[in-house]
Amino acid sequence: CAILDVQAACQDTSVTQELLKEGFHRDLLVKVELGVVGEDARGCAVAARTRLPPGIYVDPYELASLQQHNLTKAVLIPDVIDVEAPEYLATDLLVLLYMEPDPRCSRCFRAALPVHGRYHRPAEDSEEALVVLKSPEVLVCCCDNRLSAECWKPAEVAAPCSGKTVGPCQWYSVMHKPAYEELILQVPVGLRQHSSLVCVVTLLATVLCSSLILAAVCKYGHFS
């Protein structure tokens, strides 16, 4: 009975995530409501650690620009990402997304991160590929160590408690109840039966554009 009571108390923390916009370029919105820390959560740093599958990625250059304007804070592992690689040549990406307090709720935090779908192999009979995002892990870092030992466990995270500090700190992970275990991203893909048509159109467009460039060079270029 005692074990069941502890598990019930630790399940108060909830997390939801959703994808905004359409197509290849989306915003991943993550919301966390802490139930264990209570009203004192304002003094804690909260982050969501999520693993992005190969079909989706974060542009590190776009992220650096957003962080310069204090629009988001996140750590990418690895921090070097091939943004041109297709899904079948890419690898998983681990993201530590720092969250901001929600002014409408004293225990709530939220953060948004721009993500992009990768190109997939052409499909046989479907114009969409499905990319599955698992529910993120909720991490908390509090200065006064007021976290309940029954609910919060030390986490192996080598990252600072905020984007401004340099040294890593001790993060703690909590059991939580996700609104959905998985989030599905639908990425548009081509059909294999269209491969010949795509190749012909691409070749014709390449020849036409090359001819126009060559004609412009011959007409307006200055040759010594």
**pLDDT tens-digit readout, 168-214:** 777 888 766 666 667 888 888 777 777 788 888 899 999 999 999 99
Whether the model clears a pTM of 0.85, i.e. scores above it, the answer is no
User: Using CA atoms, how far apart are residues 41 and 109, in angstroms rounded to an integer?
Assistant: 9
Omega before 53 within 30 of 0, i.e. cis = no
Indicate if the alpha-carbon torsion angle 110, 145, 177, 118 is positive or negative.
Answer: positive
The answer to whether the beta carbons of residues 93 and 76 sit under 8 Å apart is yes
| Host H or E run for residue 9 | helix 2-10
* Token pair listed for 202: 């691409």
pLDDT at 194: 75
Assign 89 a pLDDT band (cuts: 50, 70, 90).
very high
Q: How far is C-alpha 141 from the chain's CA centre? A: 21
The answer to whether the beta carbons of residues 168 and 139 sit under 8 Å apart is no
Alpha helices in 132-172 (DSSP H): none
Q: What single DSSP character describes residue 91?
A: -
